[in-house]
Amino acid sequence: MKKITVLFAILMMVAACKDKNPFLADWNTPYGIPPFDQIKTENYIPAIKEGIEQNKKEIEAIINNPEAPNFANTVAAYELSGQLLAKVSGVLFNLAETDSDSTISKIEDEANKLLTAHSDEIFMNRKLFERVKAVYEADQSRLDREQQMTLKKLYQAFTRNGVDLADEAQEKLKEINQALSDAQHKFGDNLLAQNNAFKEKFGIPVSAYPDEMASCPDRERRQAMFEAYSNRSNHGDEFDNKALCLQILKLKAQKAKLLGFETFAAYQLDNKMAHDPQTVDAFLDEIQVAANAKSKEEVADMQKVMDRDIAAGLLPKGSKIEPWDWFYYAEKVRKEKYDLDEEQTKPYFKMENVRNGIFYAANLLYGINVEPLDNAPKYNPEVDVFKVTDSDGSLLGIFMTDYFPRSTKRGGAWMNNFRDQYVDKDGNEVRPIIVNVGNFNAPTDSLPGLLTIDQVETMFHEFGHALHGLLTKCHYPSVSGTSVARDFVETFSQFNENWAFQPEILAQYAKHYKTGEVIPDSLVNKILSARQFNQGFMTAELCAASILDMKWHELSEEQLDGIDIKAFEDKVCKDMGLIKEIIPRYRTTYFNHIFNSGYSAGYYSYLWSEVLDKDAFDYFKQQGIYNKDVATRFRKTFLEKGGSEEPMVLYEMFKGSQPDPKAMLRARGLIK
């Protein structure tokens, strides 16, 4: 009797813990937004563990289903499984990027270990794979196209994650995946610490580096900032990433070899649009040649301005443009050539006004409406929450913005989902909850957040991703929204940039923060005239980073032995003809995209996607850039379909032809 009483007490305690854990209950919040104020750090790991147990039971139910495998009882059932895990992960990993501290970092690390092991269990489960394989190899003619693509993606998830490996090889792959998870997490922590150290030393966040370099007349300070910025996590201290980079690269090379690929680049590209490293290398080489030629012209223009400073006694004789001079003298050249000074434009680009302009453009093109959602839960006071509806008033989703730097936020700008779009088991459509995050110029005691031209463009870029997530109309999470090939996903974010400086849209949002005056036509014309300015530099540094990414991931494990990171970088830059005044946009030790994100052997995708985006915009210009029929077709063909069709099939459906491969080079002014 006593044992029963004790057991009952334990069960009651477990039940009470579950009741107190908000992840284990339905969320009685507006539109199912996470109740951030109720979520405690101690809730995450128990919820993840519970989610894993639930998911294991769901997987077992699929495996043990006595009926013959079909799409509904195997693939669709899998797509609807793991919802508690998705619920917890959606919150934890968003906050780990935006509101991290040592506690959250440790929780994220533990969660990654648990989720990596669980993922390996699923995708190395031969019994589950046999059911998926049976559906894949059966007649698919009765499946619609979205179902076929969902099935293909799931089948490849197994084959690309070691389901066919022998037991010993599977165990080795599990070890590699866990080691990768640990090393990547450590890489991110080190970089966040270095970004904060940069801010402490120079008084500006890393995100403000280009702006500060363009306006700082003190050459010694510029050099010091350049050297600190370009050597982040490369100082031989506790935050040094060199050994971690090589460890991550070796682990990836081992993984690729186990899975039957010569290099990790070959593995990564096998299911992308580009398909193989040779295609990407040739694509990038052509761009780099054009960018190098243009950047040499830009150096010559800047040197002329520097020579005048030398003649005026401002610099020693014989001074030459160095990497730390580029932003500063490029800004001087821009002022001379186009009479364009960012101090003139910033007052018209108050963050809130720019955001209104983004919403206006989306309404103009796609008929959607965005309105503030007052009293909605927020994970940080700086977050703003909006309700997004279609022209008929139906809900499209919830959109959050979090635009200013914090010491707890990683650098850069990005879009993410707290909740994906899908159709649940009862046929109800679940609409997404999406966030755009940035590190733009923050308000001060005397000024609101006033943005640079590049930051305005970045805001439009990230909302392009948000539109892709908000407008999607798919049934299955794995193909909804931005769940498309990596070298296709940037098409829609970059396409949205094209609207940032259209005169008609500027007239709606570019208003002086003090007077409310609309930006004058003379200033608009200067912005438009300078659109191709400095594109040699911009393209060269981006392409150089893409080439560096590819070259690292084209190495085998043996080739990585004893390699010196700086010597390797120097050789890659020399081989590509990069001029000494430019370095890759990201050097190895702070290349977060490829060492702690999903862009390994994939950073080229920004340029690859830009070919599609610029060709699509050329088509818009031919038909009229506010042509409702074309915009509707763009929405229905791309933004609503997510990954439910092959990328090039969608593109040809939209335009009626393949893209012009020179469209991007022309748009950047690198060729005529």
pLDDT averaged per 10 residues, the chain (length 672): 44 51 96 97 98 98 98 98 97 95 95 96 98 98 98 98 96 96 95 96 95 96 98 95 97 97 97 97 98 98 98 97 98 95 95 98 98 96 98 98 95 96 96 98 95 97 98 98 96 97 96 97 95 96 98 97 96 98 98 94 97 97 95 98 97 96 96 90
Does a structural domain hold residue 658?
A: no
- Are 70 and 190 in a shared domain? no
Of 513, 531, 549, which residue constitutes the final position of a domain?
Answer: 531
Express each pLDDT in 343-379 by its tens digit. 999 999 999 999 999 999 999 999 999 999 999 999 9
* Count of domains forming the chain: 3
| Cα–Cα distance, 334 to 538 (Å, whole number) | 14
- Are 552 and 448 in a shared domain? no
| Cα–Cα distance, 525 to 520 (Å, whole number) | 9
Q: Burial code of 145-160, b = ≥16 C-beta within 10 A, e = fewer?
A: ebbbbbbbbbbebbbb
Q: Is 286 a catalytic residue?
A: no
Q: In which residue are the tokens 């650098």 written? A: 411
Does a structural domain hold residue 636?
A: no
Q: Which residues face 435 on adjacent strands?
A: 400, 416
Helix (H, G, I), strand (E, B) or coil at 62: helix
Does a structural domain hold residue 639?
A: no
Classify residue 534 by burial, with Cβ atoms within 10 Å: 0-12, 13-18, 19+. Answer: buried
| Cα–Cα distance, 316 to 111 (Å, whole number) | 56
Cβ atoms of residues 492 and 468 within 8 Å: yes
- Report the pLDDT value the prediction gives residue 14, as an integer from 0 to 100: 45
DSSP calls for 371-412 = EE-TT---SSTT-EEEEEE-TTS-EEEEEEEE-S--TTS-SS
| Cα–Cα distance, 439 to 322 (Å, whole number) | 27
Does a structural domain hold residue 170?
A: no
- Are 240 and 277 in a shared domain? yes
- Are 307 and 389 in a shared domain? no
Q: Where are the beta strands (DSSP E) in 433-564?
A: 433-437
| Cα–Cα distance, 267 to 253 (Å, whole number) | 9
Q: Which two tokens stand for residue 31?
A: 């539109």
| Cα–Cα distance, 150 to 251 (Å, whole number) | 29
- Report the pLDDT value the prediction gives residue 597, as an integer from 0 to 100: 87
Helix (H, G, I), strand (E, B) or coil at 127: helix
Q: In which residue are the tokens 């590509």 written? A: 576
Per annotation, catalytic residue among 462, 554, 581, 610: 462
- Are 239 and 308 in a shared domain? yes
- Are 411 and 292 in a shared domain? no
- Are 360 and 302 in a shared domain? no
Of 587, 605, 623, which residue constitutes the final position of a domain?
Answer: 605
Cβ atoms of residues 394 and 535 within 8 Å: no
- The CATH number of whichever domain residue 508 belongs to comes to 1.10.1370.40
Helix (H, G, I), strand (E, B) or coil at 438: coil
Classify residue 394 by burial, with Cβ atoms within 10 Å: 0-12, 13-18, 19+. Answer: exposed
Q: How is residue 563 annotated by DSSP?
A: -
Q: Which two tokens stand for residue 533?
A: 């300015």
Q: Report the C-alpha dihedral over residues 599, 600, 606, 608, rounded to 10 degrees.
A: -130
Q: Residue 385 is part of which domain span?
A: 346-531
Relative to beta strand 369-372, strand 433-437 is unpaired
Q: Which residues face 450 on adjacent strands?
A: 350
Residues, the chain? 672
| Cα–Cα distance, 5 to 650 (Å, whole number) | 63
- Are 92 and 48 in a shared domain? yes
The residues, any chain, with a CB within 8 Å of residue 523's CB and separated by 6 or more, are 340, 344, 345, 348
Summary count for the chain: helices (H), strands (E): 28, 7
Q: Which two tokens stand for residue 309?
A: 């400073």
Q: Which residues face 429 on adjacent strands?
A: 423
Does a structural domain hold residue 611?
A: no
- Report the pLDDT value the prediction gives residue 598, as an integer from 0 to 100: 87
The residues, any chain, with a CB within 8 Å of residue 86's CB and separated by 6 or more, are 419, 420, 477
- The secondary structure element, H or E, covering residue 429 is strand 429-430
Cβ atoms of residues 624 and 464 within 8 Å: no
Does a structural domain hold residue 495?
A: yes
Q: What are phi and psi of 40, to 5 degrees?
A: -110, 160
Of 551, 572, 605, which residue constitutes the final position of a domain?
Answer: 605
- The CATH number of whichever domain residue 579 belongs to comes to 1.10.1370.10
Does a structural domain hold residue 235?
A: yes
Q: What is the pTM of this model?
A: 0.93
Relative to beta strand 433-437, strand 395-402 is parallel
- Report the pLDDT value the prediction gives residue 384, as an integer from 0 to 100: 98
- Are 508 and 543 in a shared domain? no
- Are 472 and 595 in a shared domain? no
- Are 411 and 486 in a shared domain? yes
| Other beta carbons less than 10 A from residue 352's beta carbon | 14
The residues, any chain, with a CB within 8 Å of residue 69's CB and separated by 6 or more, are 130, 131, 132, 134, 135
The residues, any chain, with a CB within 8 Å of residue 119's CB and separated by 6 or more, are 161, 177
- Are 501 and 379 in a shared domain? yes
Does a structural domain hold residue 327?
A: yes
